[in-house]
């Protein structure tokens, strides 16, 4: 993984429309990771008054 070698941030996509922006310090074959300076991001879906959904961040 390039972010481990170059000390850069990586964007990790998770379930439920969530993402992590972090420095990856180490990982193994089972994708266990040691992260540093983590910022969590997600999308919130709001319902309008008429039952329609609109998404915003």
Is residue 55 in a domain?
A: no
Is residue 26 in a domain?
A: yes
What is the CB neighbour count within 10 angstroms for residue 20?
Answer: 17
- Rounded to 5 degrees, what are φ and ψ at 4? -70, -45
Q: Are strands 33-42 and 53-56 parallel, antiparallel or unpaired?
A: unpaired
Contact 56, 48 (CB under 8 A): no
Q: What is the pLDDT of residue 53?
A: 60
Is residue 50 in a domain?
A: no
pLDDT digits (tens, 9 = 90+) for 2-51: 767 787 898 999 988 899 999 989 889 998 999 999 999 988 888 777 76
pLDDT band at 57 (very low <50, low <70, confident <90, very high): low
pTM over 0.95: no
Q: What domain range is 13 assigned to?
A: 2-45
Is residue 33 in a domain?
A: yes
- Rounded to 5 degrees, what are φ and ψ at 50? -100, 15
CATH of the domain at 11: 2.30.30.100
């Amino acid at each position: 993984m390039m972010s481990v070698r170059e000390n850069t941030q990586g964007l990790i996509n998770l379930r439920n429309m969530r993402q992590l922006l972090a420095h990856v310090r180490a990982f193994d074959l089972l994708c266990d990771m040691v992260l540093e300076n983590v910022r969590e991001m997600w999308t919130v879906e709001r319902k309008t008054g008429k039952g329609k959904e609109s998404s915003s961040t």
